[in-house]
Chains A and B, each alone.
Chain A
Amino acid sequence: MDQLLALARQGDKGAQEKLFGFLLVRFTLLAKRRMREEEARDAAQDACLTVFQKYRTEAPAERFEAWAYAILRRKIGNCYQKQDVRERVMGDGTRIDDVADASGGTLPPHIRNALLECLRKLVRTFPRYARALNLVYQGYDTEEVCRRLRIRQGYVYVLLNRGRDMLNECLEKGGAQ
C-alpha cells in the first residue's frame, strides 16, 4: 500500500485507482462488521471519498492506514447518528442483538447448518475452544477469558486461532463427516 500511495501522490492515475480500490474493499469489510451491507458500502465509499480529497494534503507521510482508518470510524459514527441508533456502541461493545437482526437473515441456511455441525464436532474434540468462546459470548474480553481459564494472555489467541483453523478445515470439507 505504501508503494501505491507514493505513486498516487506523484500523480500516477493508475496507482491512485488501485489504491482506492484496495481501500474500498477493506473499508467495506470492516464496516460490514458493524452495520448492514448497504450501509457499510455507503460508509466505505464516503470514507474513501474523504481520503481521496485529503490524502495529498492532510495524510501523514507515515501511518497512512491509521489516518484512513480514523476517517472510516468517523463515517461509521456519522452513519449511526443519521439513523438515530445512538444506543449502538462501536467496536467491542456492539450490541449483538442489533447485528443479529441486521444480518441474520441474509445468509443461506446451509452455511449455518454446516457451521453448526462443525461446531458440534469441535466442542467435543476441543472443549477449551468452546469454553473460551462461551466466555466471549458472556461479554468477557480476552484478558478476562485468560484469567478465567487460567492461561497466559498470548495463549488465548493461539487457542482461538487453533480452533478457527479446525473449524475452517471442517467447513472446507463441507461440514462434519
Chain B
Amino acid sequence: MNIRECTDADVGALLHAYEIGGLAEKDVERFEIHVLQCDHCYEAVQAFAPWAELLRTDRGIRSLVREAVEAPESAGSRLRRWGRYLWPPWPLPFRPAVIYLVILVLLYPTYRWWQRSSSPSVRDIQAIMLVPSRASTQEGVLKAGRDAAVTFVYRGAIPGKRYQVRLTQDGGAVIFTDGSYTEFDKYETGHLLLPADRMRPGGYFLEITDPEGSPPENRQTYHFQILP
C-alpha cells in the first residue's frame, strides 16, 4: 500500500465500512468522490478489493461470522479470553498480569500497616490473686515474659489510707516500693501491675505495711515465683 497520507481523514475513515457495504447511500457517495481524488484511499480499496468482494458477497463467510457471534461462549474460550486479556502480546511491563502483580506487591505492605494500626493493641497479661492464708506466706506462680496484674488483700485495709507496699527479690533487691499506697478498695483489695521487662525469673516478696499499726500485726507478706 502506498504510504501517502489520506487527503481527508474524516472521509478516509469510512474505508472499511464502505468495503463491507455498511454505509448509508450518502456516505457511499461521499467516499467514492473522495476515492476519485485520494491516491491513498484508491490504492487501499484497490489492494483489498478481492477480499472486500468476498466479505460483501460470500455466503460461507457470512455464516462463519454469524456462527461466531451467535455461538455461546464456552468455559474454555472464556479462559482463553481471560488469558489473552491478562497476557496480551505487548511489552512485558504493560501486560495487565504484570501490572496487577506490581499493584499487589505494593499494596501488601500498606495493607499490613493498616491492619496493624487499625487493630487495638491488646497486651497479653497474666493475673494472680494473693489472699491471706494460714501459711506464713502466700505462694503464687507467674511466668516470665508477660505483664502481670497482682491483686492482693490486706485485712482491715481502709480505702484512701496510706500504706507501704514493697516488692523485693529473694536476694533482697528492691524492685518496687511505694510509701504512700492509697489504692485499696472497700473489699480490702489492692492492685499492682508488674511490667514484663522488669520481672526476671525467681522468687519475690510482696510486703504491705500499715505505718500506723504496731508490728508484727501491721505487716502482711506474700511470696510468689516467676518461672522462666
Contact = CB atoms under 8 A, between A and B. Distances in A.
Interface residues of A, number: 58
B65 A137 contact: yes
A10 interface: no
B21 A92 contact: yes
Contacts of B13: 154, 157-158, 161
A145 B33 contact: no
A115 B64 CA distance: 11
Interface stretch (B22-30, B113-121, B136-144): B22-30
A158 B10 CA distance: 11
Nearest to A93: B25
B25 A145 contact: no
Contacts of A145: 22
B57 interface: yes
A60 B216 CA distance: 132
B196 interface: no
Interface string B72-107: 000001001000100000000000000000000000
A99 B55 contact: no
B17 A156 contact: yes
Contacts of B61: 112, 115-116, 119
A111 B58 CA distance: 12
B32 A30 contact: yes
Interface string B18-62: 011111110111001101110000100110111101111111111
Given A104-B58, A115-B54, 12 more contacts: A2-B37, A25-B42, A33-B53, A69-B32, A91-B25, A107-B54, A111-B54, A123-B69, A133-B20, A157-B15, A161-B16, A164-B19
Interface of B: 13-17, 19-25, 27-29, 32-33, 35-37, 42, 45-46, 48-51, 53-62, 64-66, 68-69, 77, 80, 84
19 contacts: A2-B37, A25-B46, A32-B49, A68-B36, A91-B28, A92-B23, A96-B21, A99-B57, A100-B59, A103-B53, A115-B54, A141-B24, A142-B17, A142-B23, A142-B27, A157-B15, A158-B13, A160-B17, A161-B15
Q: Which 4 A-B pairs have the closest CB atoms?
A: A136-B22, A123-B68, A100-B57, A65-B36
